[in-house]
Structure 1
Amino acid sequence: MKKKKDQPAPINAELFRQALDGVIPLPPSNRISLAQPLRRVMPRGTVISTHLIEDTLSDNDAGGDVPTEFLRSGMSRMTLRKLRRGRWPMQDTLDLHGFHSDAARKLLLEFLRDAAQHSLHFVCVIHGKGWQAGGKEGVLKSRVRHWLSQYSEVLAFCEAPLNAGGSGAVWVLLKAGGQSSNILDK
């Protein structure tokens, strides 16, 4: 049975106090806070900056299956395992929902360059699942993953777990200014 909005809400404060009588508060959390706060995700319709970024990424992907993970040659498989398990704290996120391919490529390049300049190592790129008719994968999903594999500062990427976007996002491990070895040891 639905409540009518006109009925006054019962006063629950006294009942709540009675229910909590004798409860001992939990001790403070022993969680580690992030070294720097996450930046806000770029909303739809964000205007792309006018300064030039060298665009060396190709849109010509194989057109086959979309890779769920990537590991730069010379990197240990253990690195990819740590990435999949979320070993490092997330430092930044880019949301490409609603962007066309050209705008998404420019934003991704700007984001990756900015992340490298700020020595970020672990970032998330949200591209969406983008299902097409006939069960094909989305264009942006396949292109973002193809672009990431072309970018020299990307050491590895993997599909995010279900609670972090699943197949609609990738977790990316960056070299970030040649300091990749010390982050991988952690």
Structure 2
Amino acid sequence: MAKKLTSLDDLKDLKLPGGKVTPLDLARIAMKGGAVPSKPKVQAKPGPKAAQPTPADDAAEDSLFFSAMQGVAPVAGSGRQIQPPPPPAPALDPEDDEDADGKLMRQAVQGAIEFDLELSDEYMRGFVRGLDSKIFQQLKAGSLSVEGHLDLHGQNADQARDALMFFMRESYLAGRRVVLVIPGRGKNSPGGLSILRAEIQSWLTREPLRRIVLAFCTAQPRDGGTGALYVLLRKIRKSQGKVAWDTQMNWEGLER
């Protein structure tokens, strides 16, 4: 756009698009009423248009896709199937444990303790009649935390009995609820039978241990399998009867 000149002072800084101002240029400016022509604008040339896909291109792409998908069967169901996480291991319910243990302790004080027993070459179990089946199932599944263990490998019957009596007494007085006893499978015993396995069932269900034992069963493979036993002990209750421990045993000597 032309710039309008209103006085002679405007000529001082005047610059034409071509460079220096000459007298002839001034005369032309005066004839045009003092307007200075502006530099013409250069229009940019439009660039090449992007190529648009043609129907033929789309058809070729679809054909390639369907050829690649031949023989592929759709997955049954809608969307990806995500398996839910396994439920957490059940915990021993304190209320159920309290009720069952109190009832069974009263039976123990009255001397009316009876066990349901099962013994085979590969499995052993026993539990006090009246024990909550849910608690026994937790013991069998190995979901109750083991708080101590006793390994009887290499011991004869007398040594094993003394060691078991001491271990069970100390575990009971310490308030442990679940312990692991390992008599072994008896592969090196005469006839390949574990004498200790049969003896332990008898020891656990007779005095004095029957007053502190609620249940026992063959352990899970991760804890020794058929060569080990989970044993569930009662809660210690000083106000409800006392266990008649063998007074002829040297408990202090066993401890040393």
TM-score (norm 1): 0.57
Q: CA deviation at 1:105?
A: 0.3
Is residue 224 of structure 2 the alignment partner of residue 165 of structure 1? yes
Q: How does 1:15-34 map to 2 (within 5 A)?
A: none
- 2:177 is equivalent to residue 121 of structure 1: yes
Q: Which has the larger radius of gyration?
A: 2
Determine helix, strand or coil for the equivalent of 2:185.
Answer: coil
Cα deviation, residue 134, structure 1: 4.4
Select the structure that is richer in helix.
2
Give the Å deviation of 1:176: 3.3
Please say if residues 216 and 229 of structure 2, whose CA atoms lie closer than 8 Å, have aligned partners that are also in contact.
yes
Taking structure 2 as the reference length, what is the TM-score of the superposition?
A: 0.42
1:69 alignment partner AA: R
Dislocated runs of 4+, deviation >6 Å: none
Any unmatched runs of 5+ in structure 2?
Answer: 1-118, 239-256
Identity over aligned residues, as a percent?
32
**1:164, distance to aligned residue in structure 2 (A):** 1.1
Is 1:74 the counterpart of 2:130? The answer is yes
* Amino acid across the alignment from 2:223: A
Contact 2:142 2:220 in 1 (8 A): no
Deviation digits for residues 7-60 of structure 1 (CA, Å, limit 9, x no counterpart) = xxxxxxxxxxxxxxxxxxxxxxxxxxxxxxxxxxxxxxxxxxxxxxxxxxxxxx
Please show how residues 11-160 of structure 1 align to structure 2 within 5 Å: 65=120, 68-131=124-187, 132-134=189-191, 137-150=193-206, 151=209, 152-160=211-219
> Aligned partners of 1:127 and 1:117: how far apart in 2?
22
How far is the alpha carbon of 1:145 from its aligned partner? 2.1
Aligned partners of 2:127 and 2:214 also within 8 Å: yes
SS at match of 2:155: coil
Q: Which residue identity is paired with 1:165?
A: G
Aligned residues, how many? 115
Contact map agreement 1:160 1:170 (CA 8 A) in 2: yes
Considering only aligned residues, what root-mean-square deviation do their CA atoms show, in Å?
Answer: 2.0
The residue identity in structure 1 corresponding to 2:232 is L
Point out which structure has higher relative CO (alpha carbons under 8 A, 6+ apart).
1
Contact preservation (8 Å) 1:96, 1:127 = yes
Say whether residues 1:174 and 2:233 are aligned partners.
yes
